[in-house]
Amino acid sequence: MIFVTGPMFSGKYEYLQKTLGLREEELAPRCARNVEALAAGEEDLEELAGHLAQYDFVTASEVGCGVVPTDPEQRESRERAGRLSCLLAGRADVVIRVCCGLPQVLKGDWKC
């Protein structure tokens, strides 16, 4: 599995499409997108990470930067999203961070 992370709207999915040379309809069934949103309502993050690792590609937005929310539920959601990203990065063969459309390989062998 290839895990692509980075800030919101930084071009993660578009980077995958361009690099792999795939159209939307070719990539969509092979990619779990914006999975950080799934962490909030999931009790077992290990199980969720295992399910998501079945995809060829997984994208998640980084949510741990910036101002920490004062609302306890928002803080918990943010914490869970970060933990899910850590679990996915651990399971991934390749981890790429995309910021401003520019890729940075954090783990594994991958030609940008």
Q: What is the mean pLDDT of residues 87-100?
A: 96
> Are the C-beta atoms of 106 and 3 separated by less than 8 Å?
no
One-letter amino acid identity for 84? L
Mean pLDDT of all residues belonging to the chain: 93
CATH numbers and ranges of domains, the chain: 2-107 (3.40.50.300)
Token digits of residue 6: 């980075």
Q: What is the mean pLDDT of residues 65-82?
A: 87
Q: What is the mean pLDDT of residues 49-70?
A: 91
Percent of residues, the chain, with pLDDT higher than 90: 76
User: pLDDT tier at 110 (50, 70, 90 boundaries)?
Assistant: confident
Token digits of residue 102: 């520019």
